[in-house]
Amino acid sequence: MERLEHRVAIITGAGSGIGRASARSMAANGMSVVLVGRTAARIESAAEEIRETGGKATALAVDVAQENAFEMMRDRALDAFGRVDVVMNNAAAISTANPHEMPVEEWRRVMEINLFAAVRSNAVFVPHMLKQREGHLVFVASVDGLYGFGFDRLPYAASKAALVQMAEALAIYLRPRGIGVTCFCPGPVDSDIASLRKPFGGPHEIRGPGDFLEGIAAEVAGDAVVQAIRDDQLLLLTHPDPIRQLMVERASDFQAFNDRWIADPHVLFRPDGVED
């Protein structure tokens, strides 16, 4: 989707972090945006921020776990701007615990927000985009979905891995039909996702993806999303070189790769060839 001017995007989880930054970047590139989030004051503030700089934005306070949430988003976009071109599935829930102490109900909650919201989004917007023969879907997954370091947050990691597979399969089906797909797998990004974390059980370690991944600003991530839409880029990484190297090592010898973690799960190793 090379031309973004006059296009319309819906962004869930748009009140802060990557979602808010992506909405700002889209608006700066001439798109009209529908910002979606659970907290009305936060997303209205984000929309007003865009309008104050001359952009076009409207806010919709709704929980993505609500059954008719995506129909509401579609209707708001059509009423406000007359079309839907891009849907960015960014809303997320994260909880942490030792694996045996994670409640089953918490698995259900995280999957409902991180995975099944995207399923419901597809049910609404894929037919819409097929009918108009163009569009772009963005699924915000995570490096947590690319390799298995996150034993402290298994529901989150599993849901993000599922999004990676969903995006890859959808791209095979949709790209020949004029619809682009981007799977965004960010590493550390300066955002408030930590404030969303719900801990369970006893004391437990909070894992990171590796000390070789430095945090980046949310604005950098947001600009990268916009460029990926322009380029019809399927896999978007915030730290492409080290993550690709890590994935090569994982694919080359899965057993040895994981043996490194198992030998000392408290050491965050670097991929071979990545220097201090």
pLDDT in tens, 198-225: 989 998 888 777 777 888 999 999 999 9
- pLDDT for 275 equals 46
- Residue 43's CB is within 10 A of a number of other CB atoms, namely 29
Q: Where are the domains of the chain?
A: 8-239
Contact 76, 60 (CB under 8 A): yes
Alpha carbon separation from 57 to 32, 139, 230, 231 (Å, rounded) = 6, 21, 20, 24
Contact 6, 30 (CB under 8 A): yes
The dihedral region occupied by 134, where left means phi > 0, alpha psi between -120 and 50, and beta the remainder, is beta
Q: What angle do CA 208, 116, 25 make, to 5 degrees?
A: 65
Cα atoms in the 13 Å half-sphere on the side-chain side of 179: 27
Average pLDDT, the chain: 92
CATH number corresponding to 8-239: 3.40.50.720
Given 139, 156, 184, 257, which residue is catalytic?
156
Sorted by sequence, the CB contacts under 8 Å of residue 72 that are 6+ apart come out as 60, 62, 66
Backbone angles phi, psi at 33, to 5 degrees: -130, 140
Whole-angstrom Cα distance, residue 111 to residue 107?
6
- pLDDT for 276 equals 43
100 or 270, greater pLDDT? 100
Q: Is 147 a catalytic residue?
A: no
pLDDT category at 271 given cuts 50, 70, 90 is: low
Whole-angstrom Cα distance, residue 209 to residue 99?
17
Average pLDDT score over residue span 85-107: 96
Whole-angstrom Cα distance, residue 194 to residue 153?
12
Please give the model's pTM, rounded to 2 decimal places.
0.94
Whole-angstrom Cα distance, residue 159 to residue 142?
10
Choose the weakest-confidence range: 102-111, 155-164, 215-224, 255-264. 255-264
Does residue 270 have a pLDDT over 80?
A: no
